[in-house]
Homo-oligomer: A and B are copies of this chain.
């Protein structure tokens, strides 16, 4: 039997518009297709390049919407056809990851899969790789493994993992059991978590043997598992795939993998968490973007946009420019200005989370043209 890392296959679910990053992120230009850190590469490409040293370019699968196929292929020309799974419609993370796992499991029964969102940012990639390698070992030992990020501030925008006792897994010396997952806390609770030391951020990374993952889905929802297996069985046969998708996709249950797999596994003592000591952000809103871009210096004005022409006086925050218009800021602090061809957003970093409410309002008023 080959080593666990040799059996590892990366899965990148590339879905989610990123409503709190409107009007930059859109249905036709979702968050993962943007370079939100000024690194010169999109978040998707960054995720891909982070996984290549772990899995190799031949063992990474991308799950995305049909509408994004061309954009994804442009970002990752190395991607083989067999490694792109196109969703007929969004069905949340259990379907995205579960279907990829089911397809890979049919091709390679002892595969270990690891799922990493296409739109997160990680710094210190060697620490990331070390954590993934431990998680792979924990997965090989039969656990559903996750990576929890060591918090460096009492963030209220992330969910937390409450860690339990140390596990004793060969090759995964830092793995712990998970007592529970906890939702995004308020600030006092987040401060208490930080002081306690026994809490990690839930980075939404799950590593497991594909067979174990499918079992876990099946324990939660046998029908959903059966549907995913049926899709997977048809997937690699060009004549069968289309009819199977047409029949099954409309009835697939939409549920986050946290609820379907991670929480039940934690409750059953079958979830392992490897603490990761690296910079991580889900870049959930423009306050995150500003913080990542400025390196956390709140007095800075961050500018994103290849052709941005910004003239600022006594101003801080972030400007995202998709035009060559002159953007002039005078005496505005912690400001967020996002200038796109058909929509302009002006808010503050403190209000960044509320951007989603604008998107909701636009939906309700039928202005889907700018969403």
Determine if A339 is an interface residue (Cβ-Cβ < 8 Å). Answer: yes
- Structural contact, B343 and A346, CB atoms closer than 8 A: no
CB pair A348–B332 under 8 Å, yes or no, is yes
A350 within 8 A of B: yes
Closest Cβ–Cβ distance, residue A337 to chain B (whole Å): 5
Proximity string of chain A (311-332) to chain B, C-beta cutoff 8 Å, 1 when within and 0 when not: 1011000000000011111111
Say yes or no: A344 contacts B357, CB within 8 Å: no
Tell me if A194 counts as interface (CB < 8 A to partner B).
no
Q: Does any Cβ of B come within 8 Å of A362's Cβ?
A: yes
A281 vs B337: C-alpha distance in the bound complex, in angstroms?
31
Partner of A351, one of B331, B345, B348: B331
A361 at the B interface (CB under 8 A): yes
Contact with B along A130-147 (1 / 0, CB 8 A): 000000000000000000
- The answer to whether B354 and A328 touch across the interface, beta carbons within 8 angstroms, is no
Q: In whole Å, how far is A80's beta carbon from the nearest beta carbon of chain B?
A: 40
Chain B hits for A153, CB < 8 A: none
* A370 at interface, CB cutoff 8 A: yes
B residues within 8 A CB of A327? 343-344, 346
> Which of B331, B348, B355 has a CB less than 8 Å from the CB of A354?
B331
Are B357 and A313 in contact (CB-based, < 8 A)? yes
Query: Which residues of B have CB within 8 Å of A362?
Result: 311, 326
User: Is the beta-carbon distance between B326 and A23 smaller than 8 angstroms?
Assistant: yes
Within 8 A of B (CB), among A331-371: 331-332, 335, 337, 339, 341-348, 350-351, 354-355, 357-358, 361-362, 367, 370
Residues of B within 8 A of A358 (CB): 311, 313, 328, 330
Chain B nearest Cβ from A356, distance in angstroms? 10
- Counting chain B CB atoms within 10 Å of each CB, the highest count among A314, A344, A348 belongs to A344
Report whether B361 and A346 are in contact in the complex, using a CB–CB cutoff of 8 Å. Answer: no
Q: Which residue of B lies closest to A361 (CB)?
A: B311
Point out the residue from B335, B344, B351 that lies within 8 Å of A339, measured CB to CB. B344
Bound-state Cα–Cα, A230 to B166, Å:
99
Chain B residues closer than 8 Å to A332, beta-carbon distance: 335, 346-348, 351
Given A344-B344, A348-B331, do A326 and B357 touch, yes or no (CB 8 Å)? no
Closest-CB distance, A371 to chain B (whole angstroms): 10
- CB interface residues, A 217-262, toward B, < 8 Å: none
- CA distance in complex: A313, B359 (Å): 12
Q: How far is the CB of A330 from chain B (nearest CB, A)?
A: 4
Query: Which residues of chain B are within 8 angstroms of A328 by Cβ–Cβ distance?
Result: 23, 343-347, 358
B311 near A325: Cβ-Cβ < 8 Å: no
Shortest CB–CB separation between residue A39 and chain B, in angstroms? Answer: 25
Minimum-distance CB pairs A-B, first 9: A331-B351, A330-B347, A326-B343, A330-B351, A327-B344, A328-B358, A328-B345, A330-B354, A326-B370
Interface, chain A (partner B; CB < 8 A): 23, 311, 313-314, 325-332, 335, 337, 339, 341-348, 350-351, 354-355, 357-358, 361-362, 367, 370
12 residue pairs of the A-B complex, CB under 8 angstroms, read A313-B357, A313-B361, A325-B344, A326-B342, A326-B362, A328-B346, A328-B347, A329-B346, A330-B355, A332-B346, A332-B348, A339-B344
